[in-house]
Structure 1
Amino acid sequence: MKRCLCRFPCRWWPRHDVGPVPRFMAFILCCYCTVLVVMAIYGRTLPIRNMDDKNIKRSSSRDFSCHSHCNETQDQITTNTSVRNQNKVFIKTSKSNKQNGGNTRNNTNSQDLKNQLIDKNTSRTSQKNQSALVIKVYRSIKTNWTFNTTAAEEFRVRLEKECKTSEMFLTTQDSVKINESLQYEAERRSLLNITPEIHNRFPKELPYRKNSFKKCSIVANSGIIVGSKCGESIDSSDFVVRFNMADVHKFSEDTGSKTNFITCNPSILVNRYSGLVGRKAKKFREEMVASYHNATVFISAFTHRFCTKFAFRAQDALKSTDMDVVFSHPSHMTLAKTFWKRRGVKGLHLSSGLLLFTAILHFCQEVHLYAFWPFLEDPTGNPIQYHYFDPPTRVHKTSKFQGAYHNMPSELTWLIKLHNQGIIKLHVDPCA
């Protein structure tokens, strides 16, 4: 048995008496096999092609979960695992209804909701069970809502203590220094070296302060808002937050059009705007300005490594406009997830709505939530779209409530609880 260059026996290695060409080809084959083995060991089958690869290095930390803002493809990858973990997820209604003396619709028994489990085998409940659950959730929401200033301030202090929103909500020049390493939220083995060029992309300090706004509205994308006539109420707010470049033109009567803060998923930049290459960057800039004017654009640039490239491209595309582009701080995302996990939110990742709510509550005295409804039907049993701007032909077979990526039942539980305590206002009924 002959030996190859690595001194291991190899039956295919040419004899010494053959010409140089066969030996050279065998050497190339040996190197190729070695590279494949190394890549398989480290779990990487393709090189990462990122404009900032030279600033990215590996650390010995464990991998961490990613936030939903970043990669829609990751949703599909983790679906099967998450469904198994959420087989027995249920709705827990607020115990504060009795403590606060507030009335809920028909005084729904919270134990009934607790027993509404997602089907153990398929992760889908029957249409009949789904409808019954929608009604019970709706009835658990307090009707005679009044704002509880004391309770809101106490909860706000608790959030700030554990999540440090005033320091780490956004990546700023105060929170990250030049030549420091920023750890990615979803890929904890990856670190981004903060060069002077990258550091200049961040605002000098957080542009918001505690209680900067009296009334804020956070508008999600559920189809329940269609026909609500809540546009005027939303636009009367001092600060309006929207998600994932939602359409505000065709539905302004229901959703309003005022936008101060809009999130942008990097996957949208890839899928809808081809990674902001060439003319697509111009199209992105024109559509953003036409829809949101001078709003602040919020992008999760430091969840996955690939997000950084497209987030920076978006910032460059909007540089000539009045729109500011800011980036979430990965440490704040981790702290927020830990905060809610300790309180029963056990999904793989926080939804965009809960993450932004965690931060906005610090900056706003009174927070109103619209279209935070994870079902595919309204309380009267009428079917609604997954997103209010989806075309009628787009039909979703499973609701956001039963989604695998987020634990919507436990998130909705807390929103109802906070609503019933007067800390936030959860709008599920039409405004007019």
Structure 2
Amino acid sequence: MGGHLLRSLFCLIALLCVGSLLTTLNWYSLDTKEVIDKALKRYSKTWKKQEDNYQNFRSQLSGKCHGFDKAIITQANTPVGSKVVYDGEWKWPLQVTPEIFSTFAKEHPFPNKTWETCAVVGNGGILSDSGCGKMIDSAQFVIRCNLPPLKNGYEEHVGVKTGLVTANPSILLEKFGSLMERRRSFVESLRIYGNSLLLLPAFSFGRNTPVSLRAAYTIEDLQSPIRPVFFNPEYLQSLALFWRSQGLRAPRLSSGIMMVSLALELCDDVHLYGFWPFSIHPHGLHTLTNHYYDDRQAKSKFHAMPAEFDLLLRLHSQGVLRLHLGDCQPRKK
């Protein structure tokens, strides 16, 4: 009798738990659908570049952050003996030695005049089967984030053209053993990006510095055509303050919005691909993977992707930049 009552009690608890879980999932689905509907309502209006809005926003951004001059550490703006202050943590400033100085770009890597069109390519699952490769590659300058794969069928959807690609040092740790042993596989993995700029946040956190310097030494030693450059932490601090003034509250900006910020200073027309932070496609309403190449989730909660997207959607609505959220070619059946 006691055993029967105990089993009944367990069944009741299980049913209650399942019911609670289903209710939570239903509310989550409703919330997601509501968010998507609101986003699509804002996005559905015919897009047209608003030159005054673009120039005004660009002027604000440039006036606060000076990306043209300060985004990248160079031998001109960071001489031997100067001190580099980390932007991601409190840490004693790093004094620039001649050896570290030798890894800095000798001159500013960007031209004096702006590019006409730039594509900033995020890695969102919305790019899967999108057919956007040709449109992305038609841009004059293409920016990519975190060493994404571009071959084995991805070319059709994300293109291959690259002018600048970022690399999170965690990738060097996880995929290439922090470059402590054999390093050729790292250099070979960079071939797809040609002679583009490889942008590393070497001075955001203390742990990033040694592996970022090893990456620069490896590229030089093995004569890769890619050109390593380092983010200037002073620029990143200014950028965080700027976006905070625009209403963004996040522990740390994502690589994506950092690159959008840079593009808005460097380019006349900025187009964004792969920037959709939700797990449901905005038009097809089918489930999306986190990235177009895998479903790996971010380990940390450093970034506020929906909040960043909301700001980017606002800039799209104002005609400052253009978000691409649909397929560029019909999907193959």
Return the offset for 1:193: 0.9
Greater C-alpha Rg: 1
Residue aligning to 2:289: 385
Residue aligning to 2:161: 258
Q: Indicate which of 143, 150, 157 corresponds to 1:248.
A: 150
Matches within 5 A, 1:125-164: 126-164=28-66
Alpha-carbon distance between aligned partners in 2 of 1:192 and 1:371, rounded to the nearest angstrom: 36
Alpha-carbon distance between aligned partners in 2 of 1:382 and 1:286, rounded to the nearest angstrom: 35
Alpha-carbon distance between aligned partners in 1 of 2:136 and 2:109, rounded to the nearest angstrom: 22
Residue aligning to 1:285: 187
Return the offset for 1:431: 1.3
* Structure with the larger helix share: 2
Matches within 5 A, 1:24-103: none
AA of the residue aligned to 1:430 = D
2:198 is equivalent to residue 301 of structure 1: no
Return the offset for 1:147: 1.8
Alpha-carbon distance between aligned partners in 2 of 1:414 and 1:367, rounded to the nearest angstrom: 15
Q: Indicate which of 163, 174, 178 corresponds to 2:76.
A: 174
Residue aligned with 1:215, SS: strand
**1:359-395, CA deviations, whole angstroms, 9 ceiling, x for partnerless residues?**
12111110000010000110132000000000xxx47
Return the offset for 1:314: 0.8
Residue aligned with 2:93, SS: strand
Q: Indicate which of 202, 205, 214 corresponds to 1:313.
A: 214
2:117 is equivalent to residue 215 of structure 1: yes
AA of the residue aligned to 1:177 = P
Return the offset for 1:167: 2.1
Return the offset for 1:224: 0.5
Gaps of 5+ in 2: 1-23
TM-score when scaled to structure 2?
A: 0.86
Residue aligned with 1:135, SS: helix
Alpha-carbon distance between aligned partners in 2 of 1:240 and 1:293, rounded to the nearest angstrom: 12
Residue aligning to 2:304: 407
Return the offset for 1:263: 0.6
Query: 1:131 touches 1:381 (CA, 8 Å); kept in 2?
Result: no
AA of the residue aligned to 1:336 = L
Query: 1:152 touches 1:423 (CA, 8 Å); kept in 2?
Result: yes
TM-score when scaled to structure 1?
A: 0.67
Residue aligning to 2:261: 358
Return the offset for 1:210: 5.4
Query: 1:211 touches 1:362 (CA, 8 Å); kept in 2?
Result: no
Alignment length (residue pairs):
301
AA of the residue aligned to 1:388 = Y
Return the offset for 1:277: 2.1
Structure 1 runs of 4+ aligned residues shifted over 4 Å read none
Residue aligned with 2:84, SS: strand
Query: 2:164 touches 2:199 (CA, 8 Å); kept in 1?
Result: yes
Alpha-carbon distance between aligned partners in 2 of 1:395 and 1:344, rounded to the nearest angstrom: 29
Query: 1:269 touches 1:276 (CA, 8 Å); kept in 2?
Result: yes
Residue aligned with 1:274, SS: helix
Residue aligning to 2:126: 224
Query: 2:91 touches 2:206 (CA, 8 Å); kept in 1?
Result: no
Alpha-carbon distance between aligned partners in 2 of 1:140 and 1:210, rounded to the nearest angstrom: 35
Query: 1:210 touches 1:363 (CA, 8 Å); kept in 2?
Result: no
Residue aligning to 1:23: none
Query: 2:122 touches 2:275 (CA, 8 Å); kept in 1?
Result: yes
Alpha-carbon distance between aligned partners in 1 of 2:91 and 2:225, rounded to the nearest angstrom: 36
Residue aligning to 1:367: 270
Q: Indicate which of 409, 418, 425 corresponds to 2:315.
A: 418
Return the offset for 1:322: 1.2
Return the offset for 1:125: 5.9
Alpha-carbon distance between aligned partners in 2 of 1:125 and 1:284, rounded to the nearest angstrom: 44
AA of the residue aligned to 1:259 = T
2:243 is equivalent to residue 346 of structure 1: no
AA of the residue aligned to 2:37 = I
Query: 1:263 touches 1:297 (CA, 8 Å); kept in 2?
Result: yes
**1:217-241, CA deviations, whole angstroms, 9 ceiling, x for partnerless residues?**
0000000111211110000111001
